[in-house]
Amino acid sequence: MAKFINYQNLDFKLNSQNFYANKISLSINASVDPVLVSDGTLLDYAPQGSLVGSLSSDFYLTGSLPNFLDITGTNSEKITGLFGGVQIDNLYAKSLSFSVEPFQPIILSVEFDWYGRLSIQNLEEQTVSERNNKASPQYIANAYRSSMTNAGLDGVESIVNFSYNSSCDRPAFFKVDEIVPFRVAKLNKKAEISLSSNDLGDSIDIDGKTVNTTLTLKDLYNTSLQVFYVSGVMNNQKYDISEGGYLLTSANIFQQVTEAKYLI
Amino acid sequence: MSYLISGLNIKNISEYDNSFLYSPYDIIDYQLNTGISVMPNYTGFGITGLTTWFSNDSLNNFLTDTSFRVTGWLNNVSGSGNLFTENSDVNSRGNIDFDQSYITLSDSQVLSGSGFNSDSRILLLAFEVITPTNFNEQTIFKFGTGDSNGFLKVKGRDELFSAKFVLDNQEFNAISSVYDDKNIVTLIQNSSNSSLKIRQNGYELGTYSSFNDYWKSGELTLGSNPGNVGIRYHEIIHFTGSLNSDQIDQYEKYLFEKYFKNDGLYFAKNNVPQGSEYSPITYTGKNYWTKNINDLFFLSYGSSASFSAKLSPLTFGDGYKTNITNGINTLNSKFNIIYDGLTDLQAKALIAYFENTPQSQSKSDYEGFKGVDLNLFTPYKQDCETYFLNINHSTPYNDINKINIEAEALYESCLNYKGMYVLLDEKNIRTYTDTTFEFAYNDVFYYPSNNFSERGYYFYTGQAKGVAQGSTGPLLPQNSPTGANTYFSRDFYFKQDIEYDISENIRIRTVDFKNSTKEYKKDGEYPNIFEFEVTFSKRSNKEALAILKFLDDKAGFKIFNYTLPQPYNKTIQVYCPEWNHTYQFYDNNSISAKFIQFNNKFSSSTVFNSLITFTS
C-alpha cells in the first residue's frame, strides 16, 4: 500500500518563527516552450523563465505579525520557510488576507512566490513526540473583540463583518546565468477592505469617497494582536434586501499604497 | 566642486573626505585630500624654506652623456646641491626616457651629491618602484655616507603587512601598493624632538624616534640596488625647517595631481568606515572602493549582441560579386547590455559611471581614452574592452530601475593563431587532440593542423551519425575531425525555426518611356539572388555557442553552404554579413542572421559562367 504522509498539526515556520497553520499548499511551475525547427521536428523544450513556486498558508493569528509579512511595507527581503522538514530559502510574500465574521476565530491567508530548486522528496511526517510537544499558542485572534473603526467612514454605522486583503506584484530580477533572482521587488502595492453594514451613508461620487479606518484584531480577552490602517477610497457600494429580511449593505474600500522617494 | 563632478548630471557626489562614512554605491571623487595644491616654489603664503627641487619637467634638468645616459640631475633651486653620477662606467648611469616624467635608476645605477644638510627638514618624494624579481630591501635614497643609517628602503610583497618602508632598521607597514604604482613618501624630520615621521600618500605610517646624525647629513644618494629592475624617480622636493600640516597636504596634492592616474570617481562596494586607511588607493580601501563596473553591477537577461561586417562589395553583373573586407577587423560588434532591477542608488551609480567613462585615462599619448572592461554575458568574453555609447533609463515604479547601455567593442575582432575569432569565450572551445575525450552534440573544437584547409573549427555532430548523445572518447582516427567517418562537421548543420519568412526580389531592369509605359528587361543571367533572415529561437547555450562560433568563424564574408527549407530544399552558397544574438534566459537564446546568396564558387578557381574572354 502506498504511503501517505499524515499531518496532525502542521509545522510551519517562517524565518524560524512558528505559525499555527491549518492548511499549506505548495506548487511548482516550470515555464517551458517547445522549440520547433524547419524540418517540422521538435528540437527541445526551452525554459522561458525560472522555476516559480507558489506557497500559500492559512494560519491562526497568535501574536503580532512580523515585519516580513507586511505586504505593503518596504521590507522586500526573502523569507525562509520550513514545512514538513523541507526548507524553502527564497520565499517572497505577495498577499495577506483575512475575514472577520461574528464570533469566529480569525484565520490569515498568506501567499508567497518562491524560486529555486526544492528537495520536495524530503517531506517528512511529524513524529508523535513533535506533535505532543508542540506548544499551544497563548493568544488566538477572534472576531468577538476585533473591530473596524467607522469614525472615518461617513454614514457607516454597524459593521456586521469585514475582510481585508493586501497584495503586491513581485517582479523578479536575475543575473545572467542564474535562475534564482538576486532581487524580488515590490510593485503595485494595495490594500482592500470589504465590509457589510446596516448603512453606508451618502452614495459614492465619481472619485469615490475618502475613507480612513483602522482594523484591530484581538483575542477573546481583548488583547490587541495586530492593527491595520487603511486610508483610501470607497469605490463600490451595494445594497441587498430580501423579503422578510433586513437591508444589508456592502462596500469595498481601496488604497494604493505608495512610498515617497527620498533624495539620494 | 571638481570638473568631474560638475560634468555629471547627478547630484550629491562629493570629493572624498576620510572623516565621512560611506554606504554601498556612494560615489566620490578621489583627490588625495580636499585642500588645494600648491607649487613648491610658490611663496604667496610666506617663505617656505624650499632648498631642493628635482623634477623631470625639462631636458635642462639633466646632464647627459653622448648616449643620453644621465650624468647629472640638476636642482631647480639655484645655489643648492645637485646629483651626479661619478662612475665612468656607462652602465652605472641612469636612463632617461624623454616621453616620460621620470628617470630610472636600476641595478647599480646611482646619483649622489652634497649640499642637502639640514637638522630639520621636510622631504617629499614622488617615485615608483618597479616590481622586483625578489622582495628584498631596495634603497630609495640615503643621507650620509654610512652603510646602515640614513636610509629609506622598501621591501616585501605587495600586500598589506608584507610591504614595508624602512627607515634605517625600523619598519613601517605600507598602506598603499608599493610596486608599479606611483607613491608620494613624505619625511618630516624634526631635530628638536628627534622625531622623523613618515607618510605614504598623505597617510602617516609612523614615527622613527631615534634617528641619528646621518639624517642631518648633506650627502644624498639615490638608487644603487644591484640586481634589481629599478626605481623611477619623478620628483624630489626638500624644505629646510618645518611646514605646517596644511602646507604638507598642499605639496603632496601638487605631486598627486601631477603624477597620479588613480584619481577620479570611485564607487563604494561596502560600508566604508572613517579613516584615511580606507581611502581608495590603499590596500584596505581596495576592498571598499572600486572603479570596476563588474564589482558593482551584473548583467540581466535580455542583453544582446549584434555583429556586422564592414564590406565593400564589387558587383560584376549577372549576379556575380565579390566582397572586399575593410581591414583585418572586419566585424563590428555592439552590445546592448541590460541592468534590470536596480535600486535608485544603484541606478544613480550606474548613470554616473556611464557619464564618467570619457574621463578614463588615455591609453597612451597617441591614443584615445581607455574603454570599460566589461564582463559580457554567455558565451562572450569576460573582461572585454568596450566603449559606452548611449544609455536608456526607465523606471516602472519606485526604486525599480532598468538601464540599457549600448556598448561597442573595437578591438576584439582580430586575427590570431586560431584564425578569425571575436568575442566568444575561448575557454569553452577546446582544442582537439588525439586524447580529447567527452564529446556532446554541438560541442565546438578547434583543430590545429599544418594543412591550412584542415585547420579551423569543427562541430561535433556524432549524434547524427548514430552516436546517441555523445561519446566519451578518445575517438578513433577515422572519427576525428578530418577522419574518413568523422563525427564532426564544418557545414552549417543547424536547423532554423519552423516559422520562417522568405521574400525574393527578382533582379530586372526597367526602361521608363516618359508619359507612356515601362519596359522590363532581363538584367543578365541569374536574376534570383536571395537575401533573407534565418532565426534560431529558444536555443540552448550549447547550440547558441556553436551557431555563434560558426558565424563568427565566417567573419561576415566567408562563403558556406546552406540548404533552403521546404519547399525550396536546394543547397545554395551564402555569406552572413550580420547577425544578432539575445540571451533571453538561462539556456534560452535567440539568434537571427542575414544570409545573402553568393553565386561564385568559394573554391580558389572561381569561374564566371558568363565570363567574356577577349581573343586577339
- What number is the average pLDDT over the span A4-18? 77
Averaged over successive runs of 10 residues, the pLDDT of chain B (616 residues) comes to 80 91 96 91 88 91 87 91 86 80 91 92 96 90 90 95 95 96 96 93 93 90 91 95 94 94 90 94 96 96 93 82 78 93 96 94 85 90 89 92 94 45 59 86 88 87 62 82 91 94 86 83 84 95 92 88 92 94 96 90 51 56
| Length reported for chain B | 616
Residue from A32, A33, A35 to probe the interface with B (highest B Cβ count within 10 Å): A35
CA distance B273 to B285: 10
Q: State the smallest CA–CA distance between residue A48 and chain B in angstroms.
A: 7
CA distance B98 to A58: 79
- What number is the average pLDDT over the span A206-219? 93
Residue from A33, A38, A44 to probe the interface with B (highest B Cβ count within 10 Å): A38
CA dihedral B100, B102, B107, B110 (to 10 degrees): 140
Among B257, B287, B202, smallest CA distance to B22 is for B287
Closest Cβ–Cβ partner in A33, A37, A258 for B498: A37
Contact A264, B345 (CB under 8 A): yes
Among B247, B326, B202, B187, smallest CA distance to B36 is for B247
Digit-coded pLDDT (tens) for A126-154: 777 777 777 788 899 999 999 998 877 77
Digit-coded pLDDT (tens) for A163-187: 999 999 999 999 999 999 999 999 9
Q: Which residue has the cell 505608495?
A: A258
Closest Cβ–Cβ partner in B377, B565, B566 for A176: B377
**Chain pair A-B, CB pairs under 8 angstroms:** 91
Contact B488, B461 (CB under 8 A): yes
Q: Which neighbouring-strand residues pair with B266?
A: B28
Residue from A31, A33, A37 to probe the interface with B (highest B Cβ count within 10 Å): A37
Q: Is the pLDDT reported for residue A35 higher than 90?
A: yes
Q: State the smallest CA–CA distance between residue A69 and chain B in angstroms.
A: 20
Among A253, A65, A225, smallest CA distance to A145 is for A225
Q: Collect all residues of chain B within an 8 Å Cβ-Cβ radius of residue A171.
A: 341, 400
Closest Cβ–Cβ partner in A44, A175, A187 for B400: A187
Q: Collect all residues of chain B within an 8 Å Cβ-Cβ radius of residue A190.
A: none
- The answer to whether B539 contacts A46, with C-beta atoms less than 8 Å apart, is yes
Higher pLDDT, residue B3 or A51: A51
CA distance B220 to B235: 14
Contact B136, B247 (CB under 8 A): no
Q: Where are the alpha helices (DSSP H) in chain A?
A: 128-132
- The answer to whether B300 contacts A173, with C-beta atoms less than 8 Å apart, is yes
pLDDT of residue B422: 45
Q: State chain A's mean pLDDT as an integer.
A: 89
CA distance B389 to B536: 28
Q: Tell me the one-letter amino acid at B470.
A: G
Query: Hey, is the C-beta of B410 within 8 angstroms of any chain A C-beta?
Result: no
Digit-coded pLDDT (tens) for B223-274: 989 889 999 999 999 999 999 999 999 999 999 999 988 788 999 999 999 9
Torsion-angle region of B401 (φ positive above 0: left; ψ -120 to 50: alpha; else: beta): beta
